[in-house]
DNA sequence: AACACCGCCAACCGCAAATGA
DNA sequence: TTCATTTGCGGTTGGCGGTGT
């Protein structure tokens, strides 16, 4: 039978919004708010639009303080780290980037950021294959993975997850070294420390920009939320599991554990080298601050042929530790 | 100049979750 | 508890503009 349409499609206008429609919608919401019912809204205003369409237009375009385009390197870093951690949960990622919408970030990832990574990886793979053939071809099967495979959304994220998880080593410098963490939005960097020194000792900075209160296991996001939308705080708060003893994670450990177990059979082999390349390519491509240049220098001087899990500790660079810590942060759940 | 191709992005669609009666 | 309705989300599409041939 199919589901009932959300609106009368015959009498509803589709396609791009005209400036007049924008003005009508914006004026009305500015004056009266949404009234808690998007479906009824267009009728009230006299717009021949579906309620969903109005909502989307408002959230993605008309809402105050929306930023379009011009993603900074810091934002790139946050998007990448969160994508690795939680995958394509754009609304959650958007909650970490004030002024950005999930749609915007999704578009940006699909059209630009992913290509940055994959483009560099392509180059690196080509270089590697030349090197390998020159070295008499002990072929590294991992390099046979094509960027196309990586770009396959689900697989791509799985690969990143599993590759990260397979880097085995204890927590170390990344977590203890704030310099290595992604730079945050200035608002995100302000904490409750100033206001409550007692709490300060119980809180831990999240590299994702979220502060975790050990006592309450509760994220403090008041500073993030500029009041124009509840968008910025709700999702993160929901995502934390208060029952967990604090472990470094992005606040999404439960889901990730599910994801991880679910896909363990499929992706039980990781390739730290490839991931390391991806990470460094990101730095190379974007100049991102948290894939440090030292990492790249060291990578160049380190043999890439022995990145087995057993040797990771011996060959650990700051970057490897960083990546590994990201993996731990992503998966640790008690 | 004309056409084809490609990238970008706003908007749509369908589904699942949340909400409320 | 159940069911209908609304909201929120992520994947996908389609139009437009830029670029290449």
Residues A14 and A97 in one domain: no
Average pLDDT over residues A56-64: 91
The CATH number of residue A21's host domain is 1.10.10.60
Question: How many domains would you assign to chain A?
Answer: 2
With a cut of 90, say whether residue A271 has pLDDT above it.
no
Judge whether A312 and A168 are in contact, CB under 8 Å: yes
Which pLDDT belongs to residue A153? 47
Banded pLDDT at A17 (limits 50, 70, 90): very high
Residue A249 belongs to some domain of the structure: yes
A91 touches strand C (CB under 7 A): yes
Spacing of C-alpha A92 from chain mean position = 8
CA to C1' distance (Å), from A284 to C12? 31
Is the CB of A88 less than 7 A from some atom of nucleic acid strand C?
yes
Whether residue A147 is found in the same domain as residue A275: yes
Q: Taking 80 as the threshold, does the pLDDT of residue A245 lie above it?
A: no
Residues 6+ apart with CB under 8 A from A17: A57, A61
First to last CA, chain A: 45
Q: Which of A290, A302, A304, A316 is nearest to A84 (CA)?
A: A290
**One domain for residues A50 and A134:** no
Q: What is the mean pLDDT of chain A?
A: 54
The answer to whether residue A4 is domain-embedded is: no
Tracing tokens 């989307």 back to the chain, one arrives at A56
Q: Describe the strand order of the beta sheet including A218-219 as a list of residue ranges.
A: A203-205, A211-213, A218-219
Can you tell me the mean pLDDT for A255-275? Answer: 35
pLDDT at A280 over 70: no
Span CA (A118) to C1' (B10), Å: 25
Q: Which residues contact A106 (CB under 8 A, 6 or more apart)?
A: A88, A90
Same domain, A56 and A87: no
Closest C-alpha to A96, from A117, A76, A115, A78: A78
pLDDT at A111 > cutoff 50 = yes
Residue A34 is part of which domain span? 9-62
Is the pLDDT at A251 greater than 50? The verdict is no
Residue A31 pLDDT > 70: yes
Rg of chain A in Å (alpha carbons): 23
CA dihedral A12, A14, A19, A21 (to 10 degrees): 20
> Each residue of A282-334: pLDDT tens digit?
443 333 333 333 333 333 333 322 222 222 222 333 333 333 334 333 333 32
Is A122 part of any domain?
yes
Chosen domain end from A45, A62, A79: A62
């Amino acid at each position: 039978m199919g589901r009932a349409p959300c609106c009368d499609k015959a009498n509803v206008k589709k396609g791009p919004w005209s400036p007049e429609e924008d003005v009508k919608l914006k004026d009305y919401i500015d004056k009266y708010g949404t009234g808690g019912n998007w479906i009824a809204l267009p009728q009230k205003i006299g717009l021949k639009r579906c309620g969903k369409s109005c909502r989307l237009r408002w959230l993605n375009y008309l809402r105050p303080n929306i930023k379009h385009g011009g993603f900074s390197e810091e934002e790139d870093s946050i998007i990448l780290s969160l994508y690795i951690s939680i995958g394509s949960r754009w609304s959650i990622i958007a909650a970490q980037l004030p002024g950005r919408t999930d749609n915007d970030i999704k578009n940006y990832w699909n059209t630009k950021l992913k290509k940055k990574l994959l483009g560099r990886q392509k180059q690196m793979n080509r270089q590697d294959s030349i090197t390998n053939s020159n070295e008499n071809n002990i072929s590294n099967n991992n390099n046979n993975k094509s960027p196309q495979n990586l770009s396959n959304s689900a697989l791509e994220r799985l690969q990143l997850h599993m590759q990260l998880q397979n880097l085995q080593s204890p927590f170390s410098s990344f977590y203890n070294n704030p310099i290595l963490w992604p730079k945050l939005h200035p608002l995100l960097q302000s904490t409750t420390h100033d206001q409550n020194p007692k709490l300060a000792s119980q809180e831990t900075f999240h590299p994702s920009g979220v502060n975790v209160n050990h006592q309450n296991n509760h994220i403090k996001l008041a500073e993030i939320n500029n009041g124009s939308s509840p968008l910025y705080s709700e999702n993160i708060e929901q995502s934390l599991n208060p029952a967990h003893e604090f472990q470094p994670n992005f606040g999404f450990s439960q889901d990730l554990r599910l994801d991880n177990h679910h896909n363990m059979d499929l992706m039980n082999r990781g390739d730290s080298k490839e991931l390391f390349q991806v990470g460094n390519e990101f730095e190379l491509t974007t100049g991102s601050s948290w894939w440090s240049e030292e990492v790249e220098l060291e990578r160049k001087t380190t043999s890439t042929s022995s990145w087995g899990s057993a040797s990771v500790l011996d060959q650990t660079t700051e970057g490897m530790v960083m990546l590994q810590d990201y993996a731990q942060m992503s998966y640790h759940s008690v």
